[in-house]
Amino acid sequence: MVKALVLTGFGINCEEEMAAAYKLAGAHADIVHLNEIFINGFDIHNYDILNFPGGFSFGDDIASGKVMANKIKYKTLPSGQTFIAELKQFIQAGKYVLGVCNGFQMLVRMGLLPNLGEQFEQEVSLSHNNSGRFEDRWVYCKVSEDCKTPFLKGIDVFPLPIRHGEGKLIIKNEELRNTIIEQKLNCLSYCTADGSLTSDYPANPNGSDLDCAGLSDPTGQVFGLMPHPEAFLSLYNHPNWGQIKRKNPSISEDGEGLNIFKNIVAHVAQEKAIEV
């Protein structure tokens, strides 16, 4: 069976929804407090997919995800290695990492995304929304053509909820921006309901460079996004589900966010030649 590890602790608060997503997608999911790794040496390598859920790690007191990223990069584990070293080995073994919202912020600040230099050093940042306020509502997202990550296979335009105050992606220079475009790492973008990419508020809730809602690394194994797919596991999570169902009575009762989890579970199962 495909095994997903969902991390929690220190202000992460979306772990139950993320574990539920994997279970609905046919995987086994365990929720583990980060102290089990930091203090007790819990082994992440028994899992296929490592997940950093959303929340408010360390209260976002410095910058969202910054304290957690530093803890992961510099704290020595019982093995004598840092957690970031364990993550490098995890990725080099061909396994997968997902970060949502605060988890995406962690991946960026750890240097796992976009990781163009392959040195796990921070290359982009996430800053305060252009609106100057926390945004808690639904947006539309479009998957980029030829994106590399299996998390997004077969998905085009779909709605997802957002809940963030610091979701604006900032790319430090034009060279890096061009490389992200060339390598198709800007895999998920904010758009209007008809799929047109936009930098305009409110369809783009934060003013991200490249209208970016999600990035992958060059391998496609690491994927992070600001919207919350784990909060759209059922059609009935959508605030307008009644009208949607009246227009299409035969529509699936699965939420469109669940497709991301189904995709990665099916992909890993295929790699391991097991049934989901």
- Catalytic sites, residue numbers: 101, 228, 230
How far is 120 from 100, CA to CA, in rounded Å? 19
Pairing type for strands 168-171 and 3-8 reads unpaired
How far is 226 from 215, CA to CA, in rounded Å? 9
How far is 209 from 204, CA to CA, in rounded Å? 10
Vertex 196, ends 195 and 199: CA angle to 5°?
A: 125
Q: Where are the alpha helices (DSSP H) in 78-153?
A: 83-92, 102-110
Pairing type for strands 28-33 and 222-225 reads unpaired
